[in-house]
Homo-oligomer: A and B are copies of this chain.
């Protein structure tokens, strides 16, 4: 049985312990205070008799559809994409989750970020197989039907590219959306077979300590993974948010390594080879290594750091009147659960705890929120996440000083948004 306090109970607890406090220069409001306080945030006085019948109530609506899509009025909520190699290999590049337009914690599958090294292969699931070989007692091959007979698990986890937020490594802050900077991170409910079951069935030979995982794309994207992770919480994922994994996420099956850099969660998984060390593939030597000022690079940074971003307000939003707003954002950590998120409106001079939306999953997005009264003057918004292991999200200065200028992998430092007196929002390096 579930012994956790319900979200409803947590809200009730908060509301019973209402305090109204001022941050140093900017005013934060507790949830209940915002309710009792003011009409400024909300409805306008209405003349009920004057409510007009809108045109869409005077005509028949459209019928049922076999598979739904968003409203035509949401056509701007899309994955922006970029490819540095568009002319040569149009499938090499990335598209990003538009966090500035989303709420909650689940990423709609249609907006889950993409990062491909040679595009999305068109795989016939009836002809796809997963081979487990190398240092095993008996090599095994699994088709989709065979895999589907194993016990499955469902887990809500983020996938984040090691290059996410790399845009902020540039010396001058780019004036682009939260999704354009931080959109290489998304969350799904993944369902599949624990990899440990399959490895145990193949029988792990003495001396095996790593695996090599290879995808069935034309890049044969492959990565080395320590065996301990493969036997811990790794999964061969077959379903994403209830339906079969999407093509751009590895249809019909992907490796999922919760909390580790996304490139290792190999899509279109076709082969796992047990080895006695890392294979040093092109995909783990030419990329994803972090160059330090002394000329040495950290090659393997697997577990992703504790991180958060404010998604509202952020670049592209406009605060068009003074008064109450709710700051909203997402926080996550490769090390486990988010324990706390602090929010500052004065560039880090003072902090206030945000409310965390439960249940808080391990290695997943946690939505944080905090009512904030904007008085119409300039403000500097930041969020700082702390995970259950005590890891604290670093400042930009603290993080970047470890590496050469422009090092754009594994960036998890604090994002700063500047609010101007006219209500416009800009990306700031602080």
Contact = CB atoms under 8 A, between A and B. Distances in A.
A61 B242 contact: no
Interface residues of A, number: 140
Given A39-B201, A57-B218, A62 B241 contact: no
B79 A67 contact: yes
Interface string A135-147: 0001111100011
A420 interface: no
A378 interface: no
A246 B70 contact: yes
A102 interface: yes
A122 to B, nearest CB: 5
Contacts of A154: 103-105, 357, 367
Interface string A70-89: 11111001111101000001
Interface string A81-123: 1010000011101110000011111111111101010111111
A2 B104 CA distance: 18
B141 A46 contact: yes
Contacts of A337: 1-2
B247 A48 contact: no
Nearest to A125: B73
A262 B91 CA distance: 43
Contacts of A286: none
B42 A111 contact: no
Given A6-B362, A242-B102, A43 B198 contact: yes
B61 A105 contact: no
A35 B73 CA distance: 50
Contacts of A60: 89-91, 118-119, 218
Q: Assembly of this chain: how many copies? A: 2
Interface string A233-251: 1000011011110111001
A412 interface: no
A324 interface: yes
Interface stretch (A126-134, A168-176, A277-285): A126-134
Given A79-B66, A198-B42, A324-B149, A56 B248 contact: no
A144 B67 CA distance: 26
A160 interface: no
A418 interface: no
Nearest to A138: B45
Most buried by B among A5, A72, A110, A152: A110
Contacts of A35: 151, 197, 200-201
Given A41-B146, A139-B45, A119 B63 contact: yes
Given A78-B67, A337-B2, A46 B133 contact: yes
Given A2-B360, A60-B90, A77-B243, 20 more contacts: A2-B337, A35-B151, A42-B149, A45-B138, A48-B139, A51-B141, A60-B89, A62-B119, A65-B114, A66-B80, A67-B78, A71-B244, A72-B122, A102-B242, A103-B191, A103-B239, A104-B241, A106-B241, A110-B110, A154-B357
6 contacts: A42-B201, A51-B271, A57-B121, A65-B95, A66-B80, A69-B246
